[in-house]
Structure 1
Amino acid sequence: MTNNPPFVLQQFSDKQMDLLKEVGNIGSGHAATALSTLLNRKIEMKVPNVEFVTFEEMFDLAGGAENKIVGLFLRVDGEAAGNMFCLLSVDQAQIIAKEMLQQQGFPFEGLHHEMSKSLLQELGNILSGSYLAAIADLTNLSLYPTVPSISIDMAGAIISHGLLELSTASDVAIVVNTSLHEVDETSSIFNGDIILLLDSSSFSQLFQALDVRGKCETC
């Protein structure tokens, strides 16, 4: 069997990049709506920043390989398979965990407490579902996320876990920086990076679907 060649940033056309940025906008909107329902408060989004980075640059986004962070990791199966991360600073994870626990009437007892972990995993479900639904809406690809796992560790250890099977398949990560805040409030309830690492063969599927979408818009 012939291995697919690695993909690099230069292989994205301007149109494909624009459509992937649209994924970020739609996904953030879905996430804000879902979080509003979860917290019973109106949540708005800031326009997300979508970047296309190399694996090495991912560690810089997380504050360096030795920076302690909270990572939610899941596998995406289906027609564009890959791995997905949600990376949060420890401080940001504490903020959102407290908010979610308060809504359910529970005290915050630290990030390592099972209730905090469970609610952060639920947050991972919300965010991954929001962005994967946006991709599916734009491409008609079928995508199926697994249940997220949570780690509180150095960024190098968390990110490397998701790169073990991908390091030779691609050199590209799609990063959506997402910031959600309550209406009339300036501080973020959620601010973190959603990172999608596609398997090598999945880039072809995604590119083809995006090209079809782009052609349809010009018909």
Structure 2
Amino acid sequence: MKEEESNIDKYKDFQLTAEQLDTLRELGNIGSGHAITALSDILRNEVDVSLTSLDFTSFWEIPKLFEDINTEVFGIYSQIKDQFNMAVIQFFTKESVINLINILSDQENISGDDIKSVSDLDELSRSIIIEIGNILAGNYSNALADLMSIKLIPGVPKLALDDINAMLESIIARFSQVSDYSILIKTILKVKDTELFGIICLIPSIEILDNLFKALNVKFDLDL
């Protein structure tokens, strides 16, 4: 707990300028725009991806994004490893994912009460969720990579279903020693009359942050 408090104290006064945030938001819009075509192809429906907000914040602020930490969510985890290290984690509410699957499937509608784990989904449903995550992770990573003139290629996504509290505890335990920063993107994916509400969390390594800050002309001590 002491380590968490010290990290918050260290970064609480750090803020990007309006211009720097606008640059990041534009990257988010580019990522959303590029994702639309690919998502429309795999879902065989017209798709709209809206970026509702983008923030650059302390890693420890993530739990505050959720009104109820017991909300069940599908988590899609993509690891980027090569010259640079970064994780892309996406959260979509279980309810909205089930609604999307039902409008895309020709089979009998499934009930959220029947889905207790990822294994309760059929292969097609799992593939749809994973591919949505793969497309979004790839396009947002590419937009960020273009700004820094590097390559970021996400690995094969992993899918999980749990309440947001348990999922965040696992994520914080895994990444708190890697970075205290995250880029948080709130999105709405619209297909037919259904909206898929998502939060995309880009967790960069110190090397990525260093490149990003240089690209944004940010002067800040990254000595963690």
State the TM-score, normalizing by the size of structure 1. 0.79
CA contact (8 A) 2:72 2:163 kept: yes
Query: What is the aligned counterpart of 1:70 among 74, 79, 92?
Result: 74
The answer to whether the aligner puts 1:202 opposite 2:208 as a matched pair is: yes
CA contact (8 A) 2:55 2:183 kept: yes
SS of 1:66 mapped into structure 2: coil
Q: CA deviation at 1:36?
A: 1.3
Query: What is the aligned counterpart of 1:129 among 138, 144, 156?
Result: 138
SS of 1:202 mapped into structure 2: helix
Alignment of 1:173-212 (within 5 A): 173-182=182-191, 187-211=193-217
- Unaligned 5+ segments in structure 1 are 1-5, 213-219
Q: Quick one: distance in 1 between partners of 2:175 and 2:199? A: 19
Q: Quick one: distance in 2 between partners of 1:37 and 1:70? A: 22
Query: What is the aligned counterpart of 1:27 among 31, 48, 63?
Result: 31
User: 1:93 corresponds to which residue?
Assistant: 97
User: 2:85 corresponds to which residue?
Assistant: 81
Query: What is the aligned counterpart of 1:8 among 1, 11, 19?
Result: 11
User: 1:51 corresponds to which residue?
Assistant: 55
SS of 2:175 mapped into structure 1: coil
The answer to whether the aligner puts 1:36 opposite 2:40 as a matched pair is: yes
CA contact (8 A) 2:130 2:157 kept: yes
User: 1:215 corresponds to which residue?
Assistant: none
Q: CA deviation at 1:196?
A: 0.7
User: 1:147 corresponds to which residue?
Assistant: 156
Change (3 A) 1:208 1:99: farther
CA contact (8 A) 1:179 1:188 kept: no
User: 2:222 corresponds to which residue?
Assistant: none
Q: Quick one: distance in 2 between partners of 1:158 and 1:194? A: 14
Q: CA deviation at 1:25?
A: 0.6
RMSD: 2.7
Query: What is the aligned counterpart of 2:180 among 167, 171, 176?
Result: 171
Q: Quick one: distance in 2 between partners of 1:63 and 1:117? A: 26
Q: CA deviation at 1:175?
A: 0.9
- Unaligned 5+ segments in structure 2 are 1-6, 219-224
Q: Quick one: distance in 1 between partners of 2:131 and 2:108? A: 17
- Tell me the number of residue pairs that the alignment of Structure 1 and Structure 2 aligns: 202
CA contact (8 A) 2:96 2:197 kept: yes
Choose 106-115 or 12-21, whichever is displaced more: 106-115
State the percentage of identical aligned residues. 28
Which amino acid in structure 2 is aligned with residue 49 of structure 1?
S
CA contact (8 A) 1:74 1:147 kept: yes
Change (3 A) 1:57 1:131: same
Q: Quick one: distance in 2 between partners of 1:19 and 1:131? A: 13
Change (3 A) 1:38 1:140: same
